[in-house]
Chains A and B, each alone.
Chain A
Amino acid sequence: MEQTTWNFIFIGITFAVYIGIAIWSRAGSTKEYYTAGGSVSPFANGMATAADWMSAATFISMAGGIAAAGYGASKFLMGWTGGFVLLTTLMVPYLRKFGKATVPDFVGDRFYSNGARLVAVICAIFICMTYIMGQMRGVGIVFSRLFDIEIWMGVMIGGGIVFFYAGLGGMKGITYTQVAQYCVMVFAYTIPVIFISIIITGNVIPQLGLIGNYVKEGAEDSQPLLEKINQISVDLGFREYTAGTGNTLDLFCITAALMVGTAGLPHVIVRFFTVKSVKAVRKSAFWTLSFIAIIYLTAPALGMFARTNFIEEINEKKYQNAPEWFVNWENQGMIAWVDKNNDGIMQYRAGNVFTGKPTFNDTDRLENGPRLVTNEIDSSTNEVYYDKDIIVLANPEMAGLPKWVIALVMAGCVAAALSTAAGLLLVLSTSISHDLMKKIIKPDISDKQEIRYARIASFGALVIAAYFGINPPSSFVAKTVAFAFGLAASSFFPTLIMGIFSKRINKEGAIAGMISGIGFTLSYIIYFQFWTESKDYWMGISPEGIGFLGMIINFVVAFLVSAVTPPPPQEVQDMVEEIRIPKGSGEATHH
């Protein structure tokens, strides 16, 4: 069977399942729309949260990032999993006990101020908006490759599907669709890696392959795989794969910012409002991290195997004898080769092949020759350019796996993008319908009207996200990751922690803390990402890691301001007492 036929079969079946689930579990009330009626089992919520959390970027790009950076990519691995320890021990059990539907709800009530609520709403909208744009782009790219259509058409199809089940089904529809999407993702991610692990290391379990020996057919004597890749890397002019990055402070700050940012992301927090009790929240958090860990523990193995495979198959080989996948992905524009020394042999080395992403001139291309690149050629000896996303996308082909595996990986990419987009869309729509309309602008709207506002808001948000998915403002989407995490780290995380663990922090302190934390973080990021090209960071801390300092500033300012202003009213202090006791959480409500 043709590859396209397999793709249609896999995407078709998975979409039919998602839509079927959405119709079966559509929401009838605001309670079901916001928190699935608070009746999801911890296990199912764990799967759904894992799917919600792992975006298209995680699924497609993370392994490639690890393959390229080696130890340096550890910040993503630790940051995006370690955050769940903070989330579980410091946040969600208490917020679940509080029992409202959204995060700005807690901020508004705990700090008895609509001003604080408004700051929280704006942060939530901004974080989700930056995130969802990347997802729409991801869906568009995958669809355009799958069915050979334009990216904008891919974005429109993906957006339509997401609106159908997120906008109509609400939290309940999303939750059960995400459970299905997690299952697709986990098979799509691990099956190819297991095959490759067997080929390269003879080990069925990739995590054991990672620490095992290189035994690929024709290898002379067996040697630990990591030792081999370290040696190859140094020979080709790269840093040792397992070596440190040389800037421990920056690595520390980025890891910390990703962790606290994770614990402050509203679309992850609200997922825990869907289970029945505080006890169920703790259990569900454990399941969530377990499901995430299956993929995060596999990614380092995949990255390393793929890097080994890539170098073995490409380096010092004649272009005429290049494997089929190399030419396929070259035709997709994800790989390029520039024969700098005119020997017809591909040399893969450290350094840039040319400036920026490749632009091709196909009219002068010779038959059986490489695509010609019009970029300015770099003086380094490296001749092979590859987009790091092919580490996951081309991986099954590199390892010579059957066509249905490739289709499965594509279905996994789509599942990853759709599940995250749906979760974000829900938080966006509830922020607008519930926190903004119901709580601040028009308190007298009915349940039905509130859901209608939510659906209108999710449609509006999707249109904006689709627009930026089709026309990404240059490399804006990549840069906004720093924004989303920096903002979550410097706003929600410290404010929520203080709201739960201190009875003394008052509204003046919380608002001053949030504004100074966000202000500092945003100005640092904007200055270095958009204002200047300079990389002369303060103490070497890159914009991705500055959210950690922003968080400290938020804490300090909030404490100082609270100390010189009157304590919160008695009923707020009683409320804090109340959320610390797990008993009697009841259903999450929105009133």
Chain B
Amino acid sequence: MTNPAAPTTTKSNYWKANLSITFKILIIWFVVSFGCGILFKEELDQFSVGGAPLGFWMAQQGSIICFVVLLITYSFLMNKLDQKHGYDEEEG
């Protein structure tokens, strides 16, 4: 932000952006685990990863890998957001 806005609007803009990042992360979280691993498991099993049916693989491997990727993405996006609003800190 180039023009320092009034503190309250900065706060509420920051909070809205924060909620939007959180929401997106949680949608992907839901889709890869509950979606691919449970609800649409049978449909996905028609495809395969190496020798494993895709739905099964998502439930036992794919979803966990996605969770790790989600957390590093969250950390990256939130740090960027903090910086943009001047809330960033030394990590310590």
Contacts and interface: CB of A to CB of B under 8 A. Distances in A.
A300 B61 contact: yes
A85 B71 contact: yes
Contacts of B53: 226, 242
A5 interface: no
A252 B74 contact: no
B56 A252 contact: no
Given A89-B26, A251-B38, A280 B91 contact: yes
Nearest to A578: B11
B88 A282 contact: no
Interface string A64-89: 00100001001001100110111011
Chain A CB within 10 Å, residue with most, of B34, B49, B57, B91: B91
A583 B39 CA distance: 40
B73 to A, nearest CB: 9
Contacts of B26: 85-86, 89
A77 B74 contact: no
Chain B contact-residue range equals: 35 or more
A204 interface: no
Given A242-B45, A583-B87, A78 B65 contact: no
A277 B37 contact: no
A84 B52 contact: no
Contacts of A293: 64-65, 67-68
Contact of B71 (A66, A275, A289, A300): A289
Interface SS of A by simple majority: helix
Main secondary structure of the interface of B (DSSP, over half): helix
A82 B74 CA distance: 14
Contact of B89 (A85, A251, A255, A582): A582
Contacts of A85: 25-26, 29, 67, 70-71
Interface string B19-43: 0001001100100011001110110
Contact of B64 (A71, A77, A213, A580): A77
Nearest to B8: A577
B39 A248 contact: yes
A347 to B, nearest CB: 28
Contacts of A86: 26, 29
A124 interface: no
A207 B51 CA distance: 12
A37 B41 CA distance: 46
B6 interface: no
A590 B51 CA distance: 53
B50 interface: yes
A210 interface: yes
A84 B60 CA distance: 16
Contacts of B34: 252, 255-256
A42 interface: yes
B33 A78 contact: yes
5 contacts: A74-B60, A211-B57, A226-B56, A283-B91, A583-B82
Interface of A: 39, 42, 66, 71, 74, 77-78, 81-82, 84-86, 88-90, 93, 207-208, 210-213, 224-227, 242, 244, 248, 251-252, 255-256, 259, 275-280, 282-283, 285-286, 289-290, 293, 296-297, 300, 577, 580-585
